[in-house]
Structure 1
Amino acid sequence: MKDVHKISTDSDGLLFDPQARTALAQFIGGDDTLAMEAAAAVRTASHAIERMRAQGSENRGLSSGTLDVLLRLSTSPDGMTIGDLAKSAGVSSRNVTGLVDTLERDGLVQRAPAPHDRRSVLARITPAGQEWIENWRRPTQLAMGAIFRDFTPADLAQLRHLCLRLADNHHKLTEYLNGAR
């Protein structure tokens, strides 16, 4: 579904990708491709938003992971432990450690001992990190405005709801599968 110029409209007036539908029908051996097409559409939309995010950040070199960590730290003036960052982002502490390493190397984040636990380290956004966020804010607002052009507030709320339902279903499935082991 990468080539959005191949998108068509079905009999209900809804967009679909005929090439993806054909490939998915062949893959699953039938014509009930709706769930697979929805998954492909979510992936395509995610890639489009990521490309727009990269353009909005003027290709300043932050991955979506490092950007996520930087944004989380920008709202936490006292900093956060690696474990808390990992939990809030839904990723491993090992992953966050690497992201914080990158941000620290770029001068956007610094590590400091946690006052409440000598074994823990806090990651804190630096003034340079705050400045990066401020410089990134307006281009991002413009980019998101462009990509969500003609979406109503109700459309955006429904899209948010559906995406979070997908994430919640994934979380529940993962918990179930991990419990079955």
Structure 2
Amino acid sequence: MKHVHKSQDGFLYDPNVRASLQSFTADAETLPLEAAAAVRQASQSIDRLRSHGATGRGLSSGALDILTRLNAAPPEGLTIGDLARTAGVTSRNVTGLVDTLESASLAERTQDKHDRRSVRVRITPEGRAWLTSFREPTQRAMSAIFQGFTSEDLTHLRHLCLRLVANQHRLEAYLSTPGAPQ
């Protein structure tokens, strides 16, 4: 943050990032790339703070994400595919995260009662207790990192981030269309 400055219009920017991007873009418009760099930095900051408490407890931010999704799931749990879709990651990635949660006794795999070929994952009582002990420090950390943000600021930030995600999904769908330029 020591390199961040305020521009004449009152908005923050990083002159080092801008200079490196100007070199990269051959002096073309750098604002979209600066915005992407800022989003990446913000995401990394939030992940570091969010996972700080989880890491000391043996969970990555990915495993924590899956555990919170299982906490909100119906009692019979969710399939690996359901978890992958809602988390926006691959089934292979979720399988590894569930392995981690299962080895820590925070989640368990069970046979699907309606489809014996399918396996469901559900949170255990130990998993619920883990989340309960993690909730308050996480809420304090998120309040601290968003200190000074109004409810309107947070609503706009959420909206803009979700627009980025929607654009990325639209672009991926377009690029996966046969004949689309790569």
Quick check: TM above 0.5? Answer: yes
Q: Is the 8 A contact 2:79 2:119 kept in 1?
A: yes
Q: CA deviation at 1:54?
A: 2.0
Q: In structure 2, how many angstroms separate the alpha carbons of the residues matched to 1:83 and 1:156?
A: 31
Q: What letter corresponds to residue 101 of structure 1 in structure 2?
A: D
Aligned with 1:29: secondary structure?
A: coil
Count of aligned residue pairs for this structure pair = 178
Structure-2 separation of matches of 1:56 and 1:149 = 19
Distance 1:110 1:58 in 2: 21
CA contact (8 A) 2:70 2:121 kept: yes
Shift of 1:87: 1.1
**Runs of 4+ that moved beyond 3 A:** none
Are 1:72 and 2:69 an aligned pair? yes
Runs of 5+ unmatched residues, structure 1: none
Contact 2:111 2:120 in 1 (8 A): yes
Shift of residue 47 of structure 1? 0.8
1:130 deviation in Å? 0.3
CA distance in 1, matches of 2:9, 2:169: 32
One-letter code of the match for 1:37? Answer: E
Same amino acid, percent of matched pairs: 54
TM-score w.r.t. the length of structure 2 is 0.94
Note if 1:147 corresponds to 2:133: no
Counterpart secondary structure, 1:6:
coil
Shift of 1:61: 2.1
Paired residues of 1:86 and 1:92 also in contact (CA < 8 A): yes
- Do 1:24 and 1:33's aligned partners in 2 also have CA atoms closer than 8 Å? yes
Other structure's SS at 2:110 match = strand
- Counterpart for residue 117 of structure 1: 115
Deviations 1:5-28 (A, max 9, x none): 110001110000000000000110
* 2:48 paired residue number: 51
Output the amino acid matched with 1:166: L
- Aligned to 2:127, which of 126, 129, 135? 129
Which residue, out of 81, 85, 89, partners 1:83? 81
> Using the alignment, how far apart are the partners of 2:102 and 2:152 within structure 1?
39
CA root-mean-square deviation:
1.1
Q: CA deviation at 1:58?
A: 6.2
TM-score (norm 1): 0.95
**In the alignment, is residue 172 of structure 1 matched against residue 158 of structure 2?**
no
Q: List gaps (5 residues or longer) in structure 2.
A: none
Equivalent AA in structure 2 for residue 11 of structure 1: Q
